[in-house]
């Protein structure tokens, strides 16, 4: 691997096409429904219909809710459900397949191989990416080098599938935006990218990065985006006011990413506890719609 410049990587940024009235699209991260799915209230096959019911027409899957089934028959059924609902599949979030930045080279290679079934599934569903983790061990620099190597191998594996491999700030050093940007530079592959999560900038419970600064650092590499929301202010007079009163300002976050040239999907990821999952998703969607309208104006 050779170091690539930010400008070179930005050329491969999945910006999306900006529409006259929509500076970005809205999708639903399946984790927003993790309690309902975990309780068996509905299944992965019913996720597209549940997404449509909350006013969203693009889905971001989480691999654990497939329950290990990536068979052709299952994926055909899921595709049919999406088609029936008019829902687009955006990506699959992949966890639990080993450390792509493992210290042991054999373990690193095994993790890469473990991800291939999700590349196949993502391709079958019409997704543009799989979201992975950059877990590793060792020193700051060792982890950067190991994660970059594992990601580069996985990007080469993704080439025949024409899919991107994108990394969320999702714990460990990946929640350090500077470190993750360094991994992007070192990986040096057009398919690698980030999925900035507006809320995941903590390591061991401590704030590592100001979230606005973290999103600014990671957006030049972004091929996906996650709008994390928690609990909402009481009696906000409008979605814009509500969005500005959250743990971080969702309206400002949307401005940051679109100003940087990102016009792809921003995924609703509700993790609050006061509202039901369904109501929290709808409230977050309404805030993103208000941000989109304000940015369009």
Check which CATH number belongs to the domain holding 271 and give it. Answer: 3.20.20.150
Residue 83 lies in a domain: yes
Q: Is residue 146 part of a domain?
A: yes
Q: What is the pLDDT along the chain (297 residues), one digit of tens a residue?
A: 543 333 333 333 355 555 557 899 999 999 999 999 999 999 999 999 999 999 999 999 999 999 999 999 999 999 999 999 999 999 999 999 999 999 999 999 999 999 999 999 999 999 999 999 999 999 999 999 999 999 999 999 999 999 999 999 998 899 999 999 999 999 999 999 999 999 888 776 666 778 999 999 999 999 999 999 988 877 665 677 766 667 788 999 999 999 999 999 999 999 998 899 999 999 999 999 999 999 998
Asked, for residue 1, whether it belongs to a domain, the answer is no
This prediction's pTM: 0.91
Residue 99 counted as domain residue: yes
Residue 172: DSSP 8-state? G
Helix (H) or strand (E) holding 62: strand 58-62
129 token code pair: 């990416």
Closest alpha carbon to 227 in 28, 62, 48: 28
- Segments forming the whole domain that contains residue 92: 6-296
Distances from the Cα of 45 to the Cα of 80, 83, 122, 154, 204, angstroms = 9, 12, 15, 27, 35
Name the phi and psi angles at 272, rounded to 5.
-75, 170
Tally of domains within the chain: 1
């Amino acid at each position: 691997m050779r170091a690539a410049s930010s400008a070179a990587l930005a050329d491969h940024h999945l910006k999306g096409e900006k529409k006259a009235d929509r500076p970005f699209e809205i999708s639903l991260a399946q984790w927003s429904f993790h309690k309902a799915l975990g309780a068996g209230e509905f299944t992965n096959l019913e996720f597209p219909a549940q997404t449509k019911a909350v006013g969203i027409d693009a889905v971001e899957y989480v691999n654990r809710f497939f329950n290990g089934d990536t068979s052709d028959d299952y994926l055909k059924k899921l595709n049919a459900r999406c088609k029936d609902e008019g829902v687009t599949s955006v990506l699959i979030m992949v966890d639990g397949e080993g450390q792509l930045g493992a210290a042991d080279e054999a373990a690193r290679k095994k993790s890469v191989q473990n991800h291939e079934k999700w590349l196949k599934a993502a391709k079958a569903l019409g997704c543009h990416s799989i979201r992975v983790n950059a877990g590793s061990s060792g020193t700051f620099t060792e982890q950067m080098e190991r994660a970059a190597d594992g990601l580069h191998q996985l990007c080469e594996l993704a080439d025949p599938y024409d899919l991107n491999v994108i990394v969320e700030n999702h714990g460990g050093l990946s929640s350090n935006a500077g470190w993750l940007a360094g991994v992007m530079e070192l990986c040096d592959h057009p398919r690698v990218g980030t999925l900035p999560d507006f809320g995941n900038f903590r390591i061991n419970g401590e704030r590592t990065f100001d979230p606005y600064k973290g999103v600014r650092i990671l957006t030049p590499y972004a091929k996906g985006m996650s709008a994390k929301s928690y609990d909402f202010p009481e009696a906000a007079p409008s979605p814009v006011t509500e969005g500005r009163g959250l743990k971080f300002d969702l309206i400002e976050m949307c401005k940051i990413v679109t100003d940087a040239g990102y016009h792809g999907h921003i995924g609703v990821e509700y993790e609050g506890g006061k509202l039901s999952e369904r109501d929290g998703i709808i409230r977050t969607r309404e805030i993103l719609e208000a941000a989109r309208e304000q940015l369009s104006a």
